[in-house]
Amino acid sequence: MKNTALFLALMISSGATASAEVTKVYLQLEGCLRATCSRKVWQALGRTVQSSSFKVDDAAEGTAEFIPAKNAPLNLRALNKSIHDAGYRVKRVAIEVDGNSTLAVANQKCSQEAIPQLWLKEAQTQKLYEWTPSVEDLKRKTSEDVQVCVVH
Amino acid sequence: MFRSALFIRIAGFLLVAGLCQSAHAGSILTSNAGVEVYKSWVVLTQGYSSGEQVGGAHITREGETASIAYGLTGNLLIGMDAVVTRMVGASKSPSVEPDLRVKWNFWSKLSPAHYHRLALQARLGVPLGGPTNYFLDQGYVGPGGSHLRFVKPTVVPTVDLIYSRATYRWVYGAAAGYSAPTADRNGLRLGDVKKASVDAEYAFWRGERSEVSFVVGGMVRQFGRAQLGGASFSNTGGSDAVVSGGIQYAPVPTLTFEASYSTDVWSVMRPGQPRMGNEILFGMRILR
């Protein structure tokens, strides 16, 4: 996809230590209602977040977004575990990356049961698609420069 | 109700603080199945005053509860509480009743739009200072000719099963609990207490970070008979039902204030069992 490419990383896979190339992370959380959720998820994310960028829409969708801290690695698997330990569940994740990213997610080992549904972030339009791509879709998207890890 | 200087100070502090700031997710004055914090602290303080009547005696129970708890995980919380009580009209010294508490949210069903949670809460209280529990025993003559027998259990184990459900604006739930005080040093034992309660909270106004909610609740309790050496006091024990209503204000996610009023709406108490009248509570919760 264009300059701002979309990277659909299968978060819990492999301990993907993403980098500063990740410009924003979107999470759809289950059980995230009211202000206590915001507080607990913020605590769970810890130093991986630029605190001023963190916000949770605790309405029906339970959507959280944040910009990763520059100096802390963003480990998507650890992120998922922390949020789970905090009493919530990650249903979908999307990461927005720099278009020139060399983020290597395609080779990560993913397992279907360990991964929340995929969630595509269209960086250009800022629109979130509630769509779970099939493996075929992933391959197609991969060919369109959207790198994802392969779901087995 | 507000006669004691202690209570006036407590209520005044909480009210003034309430005008300045406040927290969320269920009534702070009623246990819910959630764990408010994760690897962090929650501090709750509340002041209360309630009227009681037994025989011809009217006693006002006033005091403050301070709690501090730590969320080990999102599902497990440990806490310590201390209740300071002053019995106005009973000429007893203030009591301090510390306890240890563990709450385990052992089941959750989550979705983006709502959740269900179930939790078990176990508490072990250790009463210190003057006794705060009593009943009327016409065959007993205490100091000043009073027929009130005060009892201070050695420990008070309590267990609660709590259910909570939340949607965007509603948090509501139910709880069932059992408390079995041990005997005091004279072998006198208060009756056990079984209770069931429901509560609901509706956030009727939400700002960007703040929130104001109505809180309502109801509770049914059954008190067992007091015992001494295996023999029970036949005029003790009974059942009652209490309803409550209040308001909660949370100006920021980390601070909540709540005020509520409770009253006895149904009571089948035996003559020696104290009967609850009205109660007013103010509470403040800080998440750290």
Q: Residue A25 is part of which domain span?
A: 6-143
Residues of A in contact with B40 (CB under 8 A): 43
CATH number for B59: 2.40.160.40
Residue with tokens 């802390």: A72
- The predicted model gives A71-87 an average pLDDT of 79
Per-residue pLDDT of B91-103, as tens digits, reads 667 899 999 999 9
Residues of A in contact with B250 (CB under 8 A): 35
Q: Does residue A1 lie within any of the structural domains?
A: no
Q: Dihedral (C-alpha) B118, B124, B127, B132: value to the nearest 10 degrees?
A: 30
Q: Does residue A28 lie within any of the structural domains?
A: yes
* pLDDT greater at residue A148 or residue A84: A84
Helix (H/G/I), strand (E/B), else coil: A34: helix
| Contact A71/B at CB under 8 A | no
Q: Does residue A12 lie within any of the structural domains?
A: yes
Beta-carbon separation of A34 and B167 below 8 A: no
DSSP code of B282? Answer: E
Q: Does residue A152 lie within any of the structural domains?
A: no
- The predicted model gives B122-139 an average pLDDT of 91
pLDDT band at A143 (very low <50, low <70, confident <90, very high): very low
> In chain B, what are the helix, strand and coil shares in percent, each to the nearest 5?
5, 60, 30
Average pLDDT value for chain B: 88
- β-strands A89-97, A117-118 pairing: parallel
| Tally of domains in chain A | 1
Q: Does residue A69 lie within any of the structural domains?
A: yes
pLDDT at A70: 80
Q: Residue B190 is part of which domain span?
A: 5-287
Look up residue B6 and give its amino acid.
L
Distance from CA of A32 to the nearest CA of B (A): 6
Distance from CA of A146 to the nearest CA of B (A): 27
As beta bridge partners, residue B267 has B240
Beta-carbon separation of B166 and A33 below 8 A: yes
| Tally of domains in chain B | 1
pLDDT at A97: 60
Of A2-11, B116-125, B165-174, highest mean pLDDT: B116-125
* pLDDT greater at residue A49 or residue B3: A49
Residue A17 to residue B217: CA distance in whole angstroms: 48
- Range with the poorest average pLDDT among A23-32, A97-106, B57-66, B88-97: A97-106
Q: Which of residues 215-274 of B touch A (CB under 8 A)?
A: 250, 253-254
* Alpha-carbon distances, residue B49 vs B1, B9, B10, B90, B243 (angstroms): 6, 12, 11, 15, 16
CATH number for A26: 3.30.70.100
- Range with the poorest average pLDDT among A89-103, B85-99, B103-117, B121-135: A89-103
| Contact B23/A at CB under 8 A | yes
| Contact B170/A at CB under 8 A | no
Furthest-apart CA pair in chain A: how many Å?
41
